[in-house]
Structure 1
Amino acid sequence: MTRYTSYGYQKIPASDKRRLILGHFETIARRYDLADALLSFGLHFLWRRRAMHRLHLHPGARVLDLCAGTGDFALLAARVAGPDGRVVACDISRAMMTAGRDKAARAHVSDRVFWVQGDAERMGLARESFDAVLVGYGIRNFVFLEQGLEEIFRVLRPGGRLVAMEFSIPRTAWIRTIYHHYSFQILPWAGKLITGTAEPFRYLAESVRVFPAPEQIQKLMTEKGFAKAAYEPLSNGLAVIYSGEKYE
């Protein structure tokens, strides 16, 4: 039986969502970092630092950067984990990881970051092999969120920690009005100007609006076994950091 899932405002077969998401990132990989910086007005740099603070990472840690993209979180984690640590960057898009490898080389952490192409919901990684899992703007793209959380829980060691950062809807009404206009009128146009295509940015705007509210994500994390599940809104709710721990 065909299983269906949300792709923005549409309901499509699960296999189609994987294919479409992969196509988006393969297309914009070369210009992804520039688009990320410009279209978030640089806020994502602040948000990533806050997420790293919530991770409580220690030297020597084994870290998984899931939905790693070009590896921003992987590079930050590699610096904290140090030469005795290990960071695995896992992403579905080879083109994104190729761009990430170049960044790791420029940051002189290539020997600490290992790149693995894979599906976040069906990882070919060993059970209980990581002290921490980071996900940057990735859980919204899971085909089935429940399955993705189960996989993250599986690869975490007892006592390990998940920190996931995701886009959300602003809390204040007037900011929300401006955000809606920006998302649907400006973002696709600006995204096409930078990357050559507007479709990934239209999907982004729609997917943020159909993604469950932070309270629902917190509840789901608890149901999937995460202790101390919590969320922290950033910049009036433009982004949210989710966190939880695996029981000892």
Structure 2
Amino acid sequence: MNESSPKQDASSGNAPGTTHFGFRDVPVGEKQKLVGQVFSSVARNYDLMNDLMSLGIHRVWKRYFVGTCQVKRGDRVLDLAGGTGDIALLLRDRVGQAGSIVLGDINGAMLRVGRDRMTDAGKVAGFEYVQLNAEKLPFPDASFDLVTIAFGLRNVTDKDAALREMFRVLKVGGQARVLEFSEVKSDWFKPIYDFHSFQVLPRLGRLFANDADSYQYLAESIRKHPPQDELKGMMQAAGFSRCEYRNLSGGIVAIHTGYKV
């Protein structure tokens, strides 16, 4: 991938039968494979690169995300795009020994990293690992008290389908939470953020992971993700009630919340 200008993220619609993969339009059927290649490539360096890219702030975002979830001891939780397990590990203390967490990810390499990480930390009981597609969840209706997805929704081909599935598998009264990169709100900060995204991140990827292209895609995928109010509307359309969002770090990320009533 070339280091494209952030101005290429214009919100023009995709041609019929295509979707976006970063700033490229690709056939709908190819996006899942292309995203899979990205995350298979970055899996082993994922945590290191998150620290480098965000200067460690991603850990604060995730702790706040989990710390403000509606969850209690004994709950059953589904963590989608669970990756290396950092959200699931934080949730484990919240649900206690009587609770359980299903860590789901479409990418087998990421799922293995998460499972190995938990095992190395001595965290075995109460976890399940399922390779799955968020657009077609392999669970019965009303299976979970909480469904989370952190930094994964933007990589899903059919986000509306994924949100409908999250709604379907929630119990009545359950909560869904989405932590995702969003739209920066301060005009003065946008050029700095764009420089970091399109100039710094690919170079960090090349230097520390020998993979500039994957991190170029990740920067582009953030710009293509629906901004705050649009995603809120998508959650409402999927059936969620009491939808709201909270910006963190000036809108670099946002936490979206919805309930099944």
TM exceeding 0.5: yes
Q: Is the Cα contact below 8 Å between 2:150 and 2:179 reproduced in 1?
A: yes
State which of 13, 28, 32 in structure 1 corresponds to 2:42. 28
User: How much has 1:125 moved relative to structure 2?
Assistant: 1.6
Show CA shifts across 1:224-245 (max 9, x none).
1101111111001111111100
Instruction: Tell me whether 182-191 or 169-178 shows the greater mean CA deviation.
Output: 169-178
> Which residue of the other structure, out of 114, 117, 125, is the alignment partner of 2:131?
117
Task: Give the distance between the partners of 1:63 and 1:242, measured in 2 at CA.
Answer: 17
Residues 54 and 163 in structure 1, CA contact (< 8 A), matched pair in contact too = no
The Cα offsets for residues 117-146 of structure 1, whole Å up to 9 and x where unpaired, read as 011111212211000011010111110111
Q: Say which of 166, 177, 181 aligns to 1:163.
A: 177
* In structure 2, C-alpha distance between the alignment counterparts of 1:193 and 1:142, rounded to whole Å: 27
Question: Distance in 1 between the 2:18 and 2:93 partners?
Answer: 40
Is 1:147 aligned to 2:168, yes or no? no
Match of 1:43 among 52, 57, 77: 57
Matched, 1:225 2:257: no
The code of the aligned residue for 2:62 comes to R
- What is residue 127 of structure 1 aligned with on the other side? 141
Alignment partner, residue 180 of structure 1: 194
Q: 1:219 aligns to what SS in structure 2?
A: helix
Question: Does the 8 A contact of 1:129 with 1:155 survive in 2?
Answer: yes
In structure 2, the residue matched to 1:16 is 30
Give the deviation of 1:222 after TM superposition. Answer: 0.9
1:140-159 deviation digits (Å, cap 9, x = unpaired): 11101111101111111111
Partner Cα distance (1:170, 1:81) in 2: 33
- Of the candidates 67, 91, 102, which is equivalent to residue 53 of structure 1? 67
Shift of 1:36: 0.8
Q: Is the 8 A contact 2:142 2:170 kept in 1?
A: yes
Shift of 1:3: 2.9
Identity level (%): 37
Q: State the distance in 2 between where 1:118 and 1:193 align.
A: 32
| Pair 1:237-2:251 in alignment | yes
Q: How much does 1:201 deviate?
A: 1.1
Query: How far apart are 1:108 and its partner, in Å?
Result: 2.6
Aligned to 1:91: 105
How far did 1:170 drift?
A: 1.8
CA RMSD of aligned residues (A): 1.2
Q: CA deviation at 1:194?
A: 1.7
Q: Deviations over 1:34-53 (max 9, x none)?
A: 11111111111110111112
CA distance in 2, matches of 1:86, 1:178: 41
Give per-residue Cα distances to partners, 1:165-199, cap 9 Å, x unaligned: 00123211221110001111110110121211111
| Structure 1, unaligned runs of 5 or more | none
Is the Cα–Cα contact under 8 Å of residues 183 and 205 in structure 1 kept in the other structure?
yes
Show the counterpart of 1:69. Answer: 83
CA separation in 2, counterparts of 1:3 and 1:63?
A: 34
Contact 2:80/2:150 (<8 A) preserved: yes
Gaps of 5+ in 2: 1-15
With the length of structure 1 as denominator, give the TM-score of the two structures: 0.96
Residue type at the aligned position of 2:45: R
- Answer whether contact 2:22 2:217 (CA < 8 A) is retained: yes
The aligned amino acid for 1:113 is F
Task: Tell whether the 8 Å contact from 1:166 to 1:239 is kept in structure 2 after alignment.
Answer: yes
Q: Is the 8 A contact 2:182 2:226 kept in 1?
A: no
**Residue type at the aligned position of 1:78:** R
Residue 5 (1) aligns with residue 19 (2)? yes
